[in-house]
Amino acid sequence: MMSRGGAKVVASLLKSARPRLFSTATTSTIRSMSHETSHLLKPAAADLAGVNTWIWSGAGGVRFASTASLGEKTPSQDENPKKTEDESSTGGNKGIASYWGVEPNKITKEDGTEWKWNCFRPWETYKADLTIDLSKHHVPTTFLDRLAYWTVKSLRWPTDLFFQRRYGCRAMMLETVAAVPGMVGGMLLHFKSLRRFEQSGGWIKALLEEAENERMHLMTFMEVAKPKWYERALVITVQGVFFNAYFLGYLISPKFAHRMVGYLEEEAIHSYTEFLKELDKGNIDNVPAPAIAIDYWRLPADATLRDVVMVVRADEAHHRDVNHFASDIHYQGRELKEAPAPVGYH
């Protein structure tokens, strides 16, 4: 900052230079002013019309410049600056500009309020069918059936040992595994359709729907049970091993792969039933349902964790039926495309 004496010099210079700012200066005047202002190559302390002003000397005499162009308003002059187009259209959050013209659609609920989820849309929501029979069980009859059944049973033992009664974390781990088969099966059927130039009978979409539904289960339980670092590490390990094992299993025998998933879903039904028992006993707090679950399953606004577990268990029962059905098709020597796929079966 300049001293009081420096400010007086600046004011004196302005007074003397004002008549000459837009006229031709004489050589003697230029030399005199250059000599007086050669030490003033610094910001002026005086606020000249609200603009930070610089004064310097040179071959053209005394000149004035500022960090703001003429006629430009400074923030102090306009207390409420006009919002940009992006800010006004996104409620204050600056939108993502794109050369390609891909604009996000503004989606609203049935009541007219704004839809806040990007991971799913209103037309993908549904009400779970809670009347489905939970007690159905496929009795293993063939060697592959028994192999699939005991493979799943052998996976349950370390899971029980690790999670014990921590059903929130158990559900989170279960969903990271349950979301793999549908994606693998849908991907392999997709490639098969491309190789053979044929339709899949809707089974690609049905299996990918299953994978997406299981992933939404995970997104829901992430709001309830916060995984610890070692649980995240376990998820990475289990997912890597299970993905590759199931991929090879599906290539070798799709009927074995689907049967194993059918039994895996039966175990999921059992786990969620135990989860409900712990909630009813009061061993687990029946907290309010996460907002994402309320919108996805169209639950009432006052829904609780128990309501969420109920609809998730119903989803697992539907996945059980779909995969046992797919395995039965293969056991009959047919291909999946020969039977209409249960698309949208919830």
Q: What average pLDDT does this structure show over 86-96? A: 48
62 domain-assigned:
no
Q: How many domains does the chain divide into?
A: 1
Provide the pLDDT for residue 73. 44
Check pLDDT > 50 for residue 222. Answer: yes
56 domain-assigned:
no
Three-state secondary-structure class, residue 285: coil
121 domain-assigned:
no
255 domain-assigned:
yes
75 domain-assigned:
no
For 269-287, the pLDDT digits (tens) are: 999 999 999 999 999 899 9
Phi, psi for residue 54 in degrees, rounded to 5: -110, 145
Radius of gyration of the chain (CA): 35
Provide the pLDDT for residue 92. 45
In order, the DSSP letters of 222-276 are TTTS---HHHHHHHHHHHHHHHHHHHHHHHH-HHHHHHHHHHHHHHHHHHHHHHH
Check pLDDT > 50 for residue 66. Answer: no
Check pLDDT > 60 for residue 27. Answer: no
Cα(276)–Cα(118) distance, integer angstroms: 30
297 domain-assigned:
yes
Q: Which domain holds residue 332?
A: 143-338
Count how many Cα atoms sit within 13 Å of the Cα of residue 143 in the half-sphere of its side chain: 1
For 238-250, the pLDDT digits (tens) are: 889 999 999 999 9
Burial status of residue 64 (CB atoms within 10 A of its CB: 0-12, 13-18, 19 or more): middle
Poorest-pLDDT segment among 27-31, 126-130, 175-179? 27-31
> Which own/partner pairs from 323-326 qualify as long-range (CB within 8 Å, at least 24 positions apart)?
323/181, 323/258, 323/259, 323/261, 323/262, 323/265, 324/138, 324/258, 324/259, 324/262, 326/203, 326/254, 326/258
- In sequence order, the β-bridge partners of residue 51 are 48
Provide the pLDDT for residue 10. 52
Which bin fits 264, alpha (ψ -120 to 50), beta or left (φ > 0)? alpha
Provide the pLDDT for residue 12. 61
pTM over 0.85: no
Q: Which residue has the higher pLDDT, 158 or 184?
A: 184
109 domain-assigned:
no
The tokens describing 60, both together, are 């053209």
CATH code, 292:
1.20.1260.140
63 domain-assigned:
no
The closest of 301, 252, 309, 256 to 279, measured between CA atoms, is 309
- Report the run of H or E that residue 33 belongs to, with start and end: helix 27-37
**Separation of first and last alpha carbons in the chain:** 72
Provide the pLDDT for residue 251. 96
Count of CB atoms situated within 10 Å of the CB of 12 = 11
